[in-house]
């Protein structure tokens, strides 16, 4: 199905009518009739071969069809109207939804540069220093250089390996806190525990220290979760640029600015502390300050204070929330699938034996555990709708015409549950990854939980290292049960939409020590 373009003059007239103060007195059905009249009689006669679209309403287009969980709503719409490509009008924003692995392959292989821009949305602009970060900048030299320095100095395989001692110490401290709870038979709030350990690891790698509260919670970790929710919040201004004032009326802009102020205060303090005792190559923030002070030639431009804070914000937000959310979903799936839990624990305990500490050589031998992690990422990708891209010029994709300045969403959630690609796609079956080369590094387009192409997540190795090490320790040192005799089949798996999708009801589990001597402390 194609679609007709409105002549520019009628489009502008329609916008002005919508904003006229007398319009509120006109019955809605008359406004709708006017819109339909303009569409029918104002056609320029130029018919584009656009991808198929579901029917849309005047003014709001298909916006009402998004639902509270857009990845699921768009998956259902695509199944009915465009299983490969689907064209929507979300308010005034033309949008392409890619829901098949083959179309992702064609997009990345043939048009990756053209579809590497980011739309300029309100939440990232406010929260992430006008897009001066790594994940949301427009495609260009700043993005390339910011991504390069972040990858080389923090996110590369070499740097991830060098930071293993941080994971060792923070995970050992987490295990000891869980052991202390076992003495009283207390349950563990897995959401709080996992946010804290992930944030502690990220904090030490990025700025050299942690921010743990006395009750074991992470103040900064909770702030990163707040940011992730706001990055996925609905903004009138994103879909109706002339109605961005409604983000003030709804309170969204106030919440964005309040959260931004808290983040800004934290980052300013961290930067000033490091400036006071700057030494050569200590942690990531020191490296950024060295680049700034020396106007390092690797960048080719001066790194400002805002640039540094934007890059640091990305590291905190992405590193903490994607790892903690992924582990919580994984623990929930293991509780719901006790046979998988048993098999994973048997492998972990067989590989580690009676050692007092798990090392990375052990992790590399845990083939079944790696399959479990992959299966969890298949069912629960960190960002089910990969961060939106935007076309910088017209392209042909899947035989369809895609105009310039179209927002592009890749529905990783739908692709990774596609029954034509996966047997029994709704079930948690880690064995599907045994004896296969399918990996999440962006080359297998049916399985790309971290994205693919130029805009793939540069922090994949860093995040997976946290997930692997934390989950191996949780399975080695403890058995896990639902509290109060609750049944696994009744576990609430309801999702909450944000930039990442997390559990609505935090997971509470009862830990039972395994192979544990009360006199032994991993953190000692």
Residue 512 tokens read as 């039972």
Domain assignment present for residue 522? The answer is: no
Express each pLDDT in 26-39 by its tens digit. 344 444 444 444 44
Domain assignment present for residue 80? The answer is: yes
Q: How far is CA 139 from the centre of its chain?
A: 19
Burial class (CB in 10 A: 0-12, 13-18, 19+), 456: middle
Q: Please tell me the predicted confidence (pLDDT) of residue 291.
A: 81
Let me know: does 372 contact 329? Beta carbons within 8 Å. Answer: no
At 226, the pLDDT band (50, 70, 90 cuts) reads confident
Residues 159 and 142 in one domain: yes
Residues 2 and 126 in one domain: no
Residue range 469-488: average pLDDT? 94
Residues 429 and 385 in one domain: yes
Cα-based distances in Å from 49 to 1, 94, 131, 305: 7, 14, 33, 46
Cα-based distances in Å from 219 to 195, 262, 310: 10, 11, 19
Residues 267 and 353 in one domain: yes
Domain assignment present for residue 399? The answer is: yes
Domain assignment present for residue 160? The answer is: yes
Residue range 349-359: average pLDDT? 93
Residues 35 and 81 in one domain: no
Domain assignment present for residue 193? The answer is: yes
Entry field: residues in the chain: 524
Residues 38 and 59 in one domain: no
Express each pLDDT in 358-396 by its tens digit. 999 999 999 999 999 999 999 999 899 988 999 999 999
Residue 118 has pLDDT above 70, yes or no: yes
Residues 299 and 424 in one domain: yes
* 70 closest CA partner among 496, 416, 405, 502: 496
Residues 358 and 381 in one domain: yes
Task: Quote the domain boundaries for residue 38.
Answer: 1-48
Residues 147 and 267 in one domain: yes
Q: What angle is formed at CA 250 by the lines to CA 249 and CA 254, rounded to 5 degrees? A: 85
Domain assignment present for residue 524? The answer is: no
Q: Please tell me the predicted confidence (pLDDT) of residue 499.
A: 84
Residues 19 and 143 in one domain: no
Q: Please tell me the predicted confidence (pLDDT) of residue 270.
A: 87
Cα-based distances in Å from 409 to 99, 101, 103, 122: 9, 13, 12, 17
At 261, the pLDDT band (50, 70, 90 cuts) reads very high
Q: Collect all residues with Cβ–Cβ distance below 8 Å to 391 and sequence separation of at least 6.
A: 96, 114, 115, 117, 402, 403, 404, 405, 406, 408
Domain assignment present for residue 521? The answer is: no
Residues 41 and 85 in one domain: no
Domain count, the chain: 2
Residue 17 has pLDDT above 60, yes or no: no
394 is in an annotated binding site: no
Three-class secondary structure of residue 101 per DSSP: helix
At 18, the pLDDT band (50, 70, 90 cuts) reads very low
- Strand 93-98, strand 407-410: pairing: parallel
């Amino acid at each position: 199905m194609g679609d007709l373009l409105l002549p520019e003059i009628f489009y502008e007239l329609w916008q002005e009518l919508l904003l006229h103060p007398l319009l509120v007195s006109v019955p809605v059905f008359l406004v709708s009739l006017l819109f339909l009249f303009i569409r029918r009689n104002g056609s320029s006669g130029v018919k584009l071969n656009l991808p198929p679209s579901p029917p849309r309403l005047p003014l709001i287009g298909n916006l009402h069809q998004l639902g509270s969980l857009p990845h699921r709503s768009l998956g259902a719409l695509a199944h009915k109207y465009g299983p490969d490509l689907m064209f929507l009008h979300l308010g005034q924003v033309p949008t392409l939804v890619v829901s098949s692995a083959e179309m992702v392959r064609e997009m990345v292989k043939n048009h990756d540069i053209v579809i590497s821009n980011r739309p300029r949305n309100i939440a990232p602009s406010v929260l992430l220093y006008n897009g001066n970060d790594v994940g949301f900048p427009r495609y260009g030299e700043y993005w390339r250089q910011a991504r390069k320095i972040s990858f080389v100095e923090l996110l590369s395989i070499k740097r991830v390996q060098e930071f293993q001692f941080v994971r060792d110490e923070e995970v050992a401290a987490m295990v000891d806190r869980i052991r202390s709870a076992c003495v009283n038979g207390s349950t563990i709030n897995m959401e709080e525990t996992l946010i804290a350990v992930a944030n502690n690891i990220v904090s030490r790698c990025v700025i050299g220290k942690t921010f743990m509260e006395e009750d074991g919670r992470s103040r900064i970790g909770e702030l990163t979760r707040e940011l992730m929710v706001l990055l996925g919040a609905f903004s009138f201004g994103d879909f109706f640029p002339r109605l961005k004032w409604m983000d003030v009326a709804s309170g969204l802009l106030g919440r964005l600015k309040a959260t931004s102020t808290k983040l800004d205060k934290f980052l300013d303090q961290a930067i000033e502390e490091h400036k006071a005792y700057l030494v050569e190559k200590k942690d990531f923030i020191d490296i950024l300050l060295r680049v700034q002070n020396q106007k390092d030639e690797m960048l080719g431009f001066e790194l400002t204070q805002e640039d540094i804070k934007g890059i640091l914000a990305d590291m905190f937000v992405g590193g903490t929330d994607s790892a903690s959310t992924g582990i919580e979903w994984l623990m929930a799936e293991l509780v719901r699938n006790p046979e998988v839990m048993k098999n994973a624990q048997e492998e972990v305990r067989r590989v580690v034996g009676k050692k007092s500490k798990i090392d990375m050589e052990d992790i590399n031998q845990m083939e079944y555990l790696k399959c479990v992690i992959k299966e969890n990422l298949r069912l629960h990708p960190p960002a089910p709708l990969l961060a939106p891209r935007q076309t910088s010029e017209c392209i042909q994709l899947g035989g369809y015409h895609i105009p310039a300045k179209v927002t592009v969403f890749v529905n990783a959630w739908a692709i990774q549950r596609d029954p034509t690609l996966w047997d029994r796609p709704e079930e948690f079956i880690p064995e599907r990854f045994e004896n296969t080369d399918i990996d999440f590094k962006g080359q297998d387009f049916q399985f790309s939980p971290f994205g693919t192409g130029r805009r793939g997540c540069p922090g994949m190795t860093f995040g997976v290292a946290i997930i692997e090490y934390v989950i191996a320790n949780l399975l080695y040192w403890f058995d896990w049960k639902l509290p109060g005799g609750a049944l696994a089949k009744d576990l609430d798996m309801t999702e909450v939409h944000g930039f990442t999708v997390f559990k609505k009801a935090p997971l509470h589990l009862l830990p039972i020590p395994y192979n544990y001597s009360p006199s032994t402390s991993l953190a000692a």
